[in-house]
Every structure is written in structure tokens, then in C-alpha cells.
Chain A
């Protein structure tokens, strides 16, 4: 195998492919699509984040505007957590349109995250979303198939291949050369998109000091390069094993349909079929049941709380809760919040596990489907995947817990022990300065390491695909026939 020959084939392929006018038309259309997706991606990112930040401020203002009041009222006044759209979400929308943006955080209750784009949308959203990532994952492979399907098959058909081989070129040189040529063409399409993303990253201030955005983009970039090389090689290989260009094209299109449309959809459908999500009622009543068993603070005769009261009274050596050095009702609520939050988290973890089982079929299908591999890497590293959303939910719920417990502690400390119950009125109140002291919720994006961990199987599979492609070329170059 001689490098000079490989280069010769690559350059020759490039010249041939870029010669017809139709290629420039295709390129132009792709660039226009890139421009459209980039503009709508950036616009959407800006609008959504402006809306969310504006409302975060608005919600905070009304929180801080509260006068002196009973802290438990503040625990119910609650606040909102708005999910911030990650900058790389401009590149890959991921699950962004299907995950809620807003959650109301209050004591005792874990509310659902509401208002996803999908809930505002007609069935249209299901056809797909035009993002830069979609262009790279779906459209660019097709462009490569169209550009490269005849690369070897045509030479075979018109007999050039026999001449080439008889003049000393080897199959390896031909396959590697043409793959590299096609890969170079794919870069022509990929680089403008990469530049757009780099420019937007430079323009948008990072929300966190160290959000690893460049490292994320680096991983995304490398993965796409591997993916595009693989697609280029597969195009050339399929062209080499087909006896006519037409057959090569049909095969490639069949592969595209299978791997892009049918397989991913079936994988997720299987997951959903085999691991059914419980209904919301079943989920909530399971928690409710365990709360009642463990101790129901709303039940005046609950044994758990009666026992708790007796032991607290003994420790402080008093006979009535009103004689305690702190507000007992705040103490009970702190205990209640702890119990319900623990049980909620236990069940939530179980639920997330069911979701993970559903998604695992997709995740592990990346070992048979490189399109799934790149899709998962792309959205996970962009911070718009399932794990990023769960990370937001967890962070919002942690904040909710902090809020409820801080208010309970304020109640224990500042509300008279004589005030046994109720939170109404102006007599038993806490100064409003405390509301400002309690920091607002700020959505921190998912940690880089968590994203890498999540994307690990997909990253592994893309490496596996890279090595596999090389082996496949070597294997085919031994088997391929010139006629």
C-alpha cells in the first residue's frame, strides 16, 4: 500500500465529485439549510433563555416582596425553578422540546416540571426538528451516499477498475483513497457548521465559570469526524461490493432508512413496551402509603409522631410542647419533610431506573447502529439529553428541600413555642430580611464528568466503529472482485 497512490485516488475522487454543477447545487442547499438552522437555533436559544431568566427574576421579586410573615407561609409561597437552555443546545436540540421548563417548588409537594414545547405544539413536532445536529446526522450521510454511491461501482461497470488493478493499484489503495476523498468532501459540509458553533460559543457568555464547553465541543467534533469517516468508508465499501451503481444506491438508502428511521424508533418503542412507566397515581399512592406507615404528620394520633413528641419532651424535661425551647410545630414539619422527601427520592430513583431501562435499549443499540451512537454523544455532550434533564430535576428538588427546611428552622427558632399551630396573621411572624437571605435558585448545567459518564457506552461504540471500519476496508479489499 503506497501513500502516494492513496493520495492520488483521494484527489481524483475529489475532482470527480466536485466537477458536476449539481454538486454545487447540493452544497448550496446544504449551506442554506445550515444558515436557517443556525439562525433559528440561536434565536430560539435567546428567546427561551430571556423568557426564563426574566421569569426567574420576576418570581424572585415577588418572593422578596413578601412582608414579615410566618415562615410556613413562605414555604408554601414557594418559588419557581426555570431550566436554562445550554449554549450547545443551539447545535443539538436533543430532548429540549420534550422536557418541561418550569417547576413550582414548595413545601410538602414535588410538583411536575411543566410547559415543554411539545405541550404547546400540534402533532407537527413529531416530524422532527431542524437543527445543525440533524443536518449532520441525517442529511449529510444522504449527501455522502449520493456523492459516493458510484465511486467504485461505476469503475467496475465501465471496466476502468480492471485496468487500474492490472496497472498495479491495490484494492486497499483504491478503497482507502476513495474513502478519504469522500471524507474530505464531508468536511466541506462539516466545517461551516463547526465554525458556526465555534462563533456562537465565542459570542455567548458562559453561564458558569468553568463549564467545559470547549472540551464538550472537542468531543462532539472528534466524534462527528469519526462518524463521517465511517459513513464515507461504508459508502465506498457498499459501492465496491455492488455490481452496479444503482444497486449500490438502493442498498445505501436501505441502510439509511433502517438505521435512521426504523431501528431507533423500534428500539425506543421496545423499551417502552417492556418496561412500562407506572401511572402517576400508582407512583404517588405508593409514596403516600409508605408515608402513612412511617408516620403521617397530618394524623393527630400517629404513633411515630406521638413517640417523637414523648422523647423530645423527656430530653428537654418538660411536660408540654409549648414549654419546649423551640417551636414544636416547626420541628414536626421538619421531621415530616425529611420523611416524605426521603421516600419521594426513593421512589423517584426507582422511576428514573425504569426510564433508564427503557433508554438502555437505545443506548446499547449504538453498538449496532452508529447513527444512534452519534446522536447520543451529540446530545449528551451538548447537555440536552435525558441525564441533563434529570440533573435539573434533582437540583430543583434539592433546592426545594432546602427551602422547606430553612423555613421550618426559621419557624423553630423565631416563632414562639406557645404558637402551636396555624400560620395566619401578623402576630407570629419572622422579619422579611430572612427571605432575601435565602438564595435564589440558579440552574447550574450538568457536570462535564456526568455527561461523559452518561455518554460512555456511545463513546466506546464510536471508537469501536472507527476500528471496525478500518478492519472492514482491509477485509473487503481482500475479498472484492473487479467484475
Chain B
């Protein structure tokens, strides 16, 4: 027997009111992360330990700067919702869960802010 109201069925968002949004965003960023992180891994392997001027010169290239910005953004969105699931799976005390979910978002935004600021500063000011 279907207990759902006609309106609930039409909206198709389920009890969490998010529908497939989390799943879809997770897969969307996962697909984006494949080429982005391949670029990132080779970039790090190439420039880890490189002289400061070399790294700055590389990051000053508009193409490299934009790709790095996309790497950071896509990876952080992906990891934020991934950590959200880990917290929801293992932390059952309501207060601690909400606190950790908040911290999770703060962490992702802080790391994102630092990375994007650094990339833009290098790209614009060297």
C-alpha cells in the first residue's frame, strides 16, 4: 500500500526533501574530478620541490590557474558531501552530528577560500 500523498509523489523528493540531489552532485563532481585530478597529480609531481619562481610562473598561466581553481572547487564539493555521509553513518548523537556537519562545511569553505585566494593572488600579482 502506498502511503504517500499525491503531492509528495509529484515532488519526488522523499523524506529527506532532497530527492536525488546529493547522489547527483556526488556523481557530477566525481566525473569532473577524474580529468581535473589527473592534471593536479601530474602538476604536483612536476612542481613538488620546484624553485618558487618556477611554480609561480606555472600558476600565472591563465589556463593553469583556472584549471587549478576548478580542481579545488570540484574536489572540495565532492569531499564535503562525502564526509557528510561518513558523519551521518557513524555519529548518532544528534548534537555531535549537527556540530560535525557544520564543522565539515566550515572546513571545506575555509580550505577552498585559502586555495582560491592563493591561486588568484599568484595569477594576478605573481
Check if A and B associate.
no
Which residues of B approach A to under 8 Å, CB–CB? none
